[in-house]
């Protein structure tokens, strides 16, 4: 068989494993799994990375049934961590590519095939179109400047309609070449709490290793973006300030920016998060927010000094 034929075989839809990290999303998880069971073609396997402490009885019974019938592989672990869930999925998956999906999505029926086709063309990661609540596909998205260097694609809009090589991804609709992802250490598990920017950190490390990433709008899904569960279980970053909301953004800057660019990014983050209309209307809450941001900055610095290379898979 030719090298091209081998690559096509490796990234056939039947060799794509779907990994669904889940946390406190019982009934909507079952809906997402139902959508996955209706895909055409089907993925090679579906792995549910279950971080929920206790599901409602009816949800638990259904998950047990699906696992017993071989329709899903269910892996339970604690404490919850989205980067760790994705790393476990990388290790446990059996195929050449892994497609990460959130537990509250409605995928297009041909989603797996769309991702597989782009991997066959030589991309190490493929990020599909994501339509958030109220969004429609936007042909005008990303037509303007997208930034360079450290700031490249930080504001990329994933509801666009034009394919493009990118330097940022969104993990609710992201497929990766499993071998390439494992080779760079997977996802950095120092991105704790809401793990903000952990996807961008992964993308930058993949590119630094010589790989390419594609935004493929034909690989589309709707993201329900439930207000509870998942990374949103940590609450609103304004109303419930916590270092866990901010540490990822600061860690990303320490890892990928240098000099004035780094200090400017850190300073703008601190000002943006504390000098806004919410705290002008609720000034008594500002000291707690300021303390949370400073603590997050310290956590990020300590994490960066401990392991500046990043990565989370041994």
Name the residue range of residue 78's domain: 3-228
Q: Tell me, what's the pLDDT at 314?
A: 46
Does one domain contain both 190 and 253? Answer: no
Query: Does the pLDDT of residue 312 top 70, yes or no?
Result: no
Q: Tell me, what's the pLDDT at 282?
A: 87
- Higher per-residue confidence, 204 vs 229: 204
- Cis ω before 79 (30° cut-off from 0): yes
- Cβ pair 16, 44 in contact under 8 A: yes
Q: Round the average pLDDT of the chain to a whole number and report it.
A: 89
Mean pLDDT of 216-225: 96
Mean pLDDT of 125-135: 97
Q: Who contacts 49 (Cβ-Cβ below 8 Å, separation ≥6)?
A: 19, 20, 21, 22, 75, 77, 85, 86, 88, 89
User: What backbone phi and psi angles, to 5 degrees, belong to 131?
Assistant: -105, 105
Does one domain contain both 203 and 239? Answer: no
Does one domain contain both 301 and 161? Answer: no
Q: For the chain, what is the domain count?
A: 2
Domain for residue 312, yes or no?
Answer: no
Query: Cα 97 to chain center, whole Å?
Result: 15
Q: Tell me, what's the pLDDT at 10?
A: 65
Express each pLDDT in 221-249 by its tens digit: 999 988 665 454 545 656 677 888 889 99
Give bridge partners of residue 131 from the DSSP assignment.
Answer: 222
Rounded CA Rg of the chain: 20
Does one domain contain both 88 and 215? Answer: yes
Does one domain contain both 174 and 261? Answer: no
- Higher per-residue confidence, 282 vs 128: 128
Does one domain contain both 18 and 136? Answer: yes
Mean pLDDT of 63-71: 96
Q: Tell me, what's the pLDDT at 1?
A: 31
The DSSP line for 103-122 is: SSEEE-TTHHHHHHHHHHTT
- Which residue's entry shows tokens 């409605």? 106
Does one domain contain both 163 and 251? Answer: no
- Cβ pair 310, 254 in contact under 8 A: no
Strands 213-223 and 125-131 turn out to be parallel
Q: Tell me, what's the pLDDT at 97?
A: 94
Express each pLDDT in 273-299 by its tens digit: 888 888 888 888 888 989 999 999 998
Does one domain contain both 158 and 249? Answer: no
Does one domain contain both 253 and 110? Answer: no
Does one domain contain both 142 and 249? Answer: no
The DSSP line for 36-61 is: HHT-SSPPSEEEEEE--S---HHHHH
As a whole number of angstroms, the distance between CA 120 and CA 116 comes to 6
Domain for residue 109, yes or no?
Answer: yes
Mean pLDDT of 90-101: 95
Strands (E) in 161-266, as ranges, are 164-165, 173-177, 213-223
């Amino acid at each position: 068989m030719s090298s091209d034929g081998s690559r096509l075989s490796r990234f056939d839809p039947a060799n794509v494993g779907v990994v669904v990290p889940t946390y406190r999303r019982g009934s909507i998880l079952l809906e997402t799994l139902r959508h996955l069971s209706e895909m055409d073609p089907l993925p090679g396997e579906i792995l549910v990375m279950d971080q929920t402490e206790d599901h409602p009885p009816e949800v638990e019974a259904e998950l047990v049934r699906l696992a017993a019938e071989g329709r899903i592989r269910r892996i339970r672990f604690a404490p919850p961590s989205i980067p760790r869930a994705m790393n476990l999925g990388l290790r446990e998956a059996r195929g050449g590519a892994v497609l990460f999906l959130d537990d509250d999505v409605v995928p297009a029926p041909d989603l797996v095939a769309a991702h597989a086709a782009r991997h066959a063309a030589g991309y190490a990661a493929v990020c599909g179109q994501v339509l958030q609540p109220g969004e429609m596909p936007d042909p005008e998205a990303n037509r303007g400047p997208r930034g360079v260097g450290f700031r490249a694609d930080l504001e990329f809009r994933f509801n666009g309609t034009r394919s493009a090589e990118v330097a940022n991804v969104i993990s609710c609709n992201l497929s990766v070449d499993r071998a390439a992802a494992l080779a760079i250490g997977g996802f950095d598990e120092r991105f704790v709490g809401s793990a903000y920017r952990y996807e961008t950190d992964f993308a930058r490390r993949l590119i630094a290793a010589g790989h390419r990433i594609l935004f493929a709008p034909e690989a589309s899904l709707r993201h329900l973006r439930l207000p509870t569960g998942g990374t949103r279980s940590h609450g609103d970053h304004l109303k419930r300030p916590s270092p866990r909301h901010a540490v990822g953004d600061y860690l990303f800057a320490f890892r990928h920016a240098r000099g004035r660019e780094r200090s400017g990014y850190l300073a703008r983050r601190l000002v943006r998060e504390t000098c806004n209309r919410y705290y002008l209307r609720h000034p008594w809450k500002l000291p707690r927010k300021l303390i949370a941001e400073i603590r997050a900055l310290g956590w990020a610095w300590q994490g960066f000094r401990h392991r500046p290379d990043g990565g989370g898979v041994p």
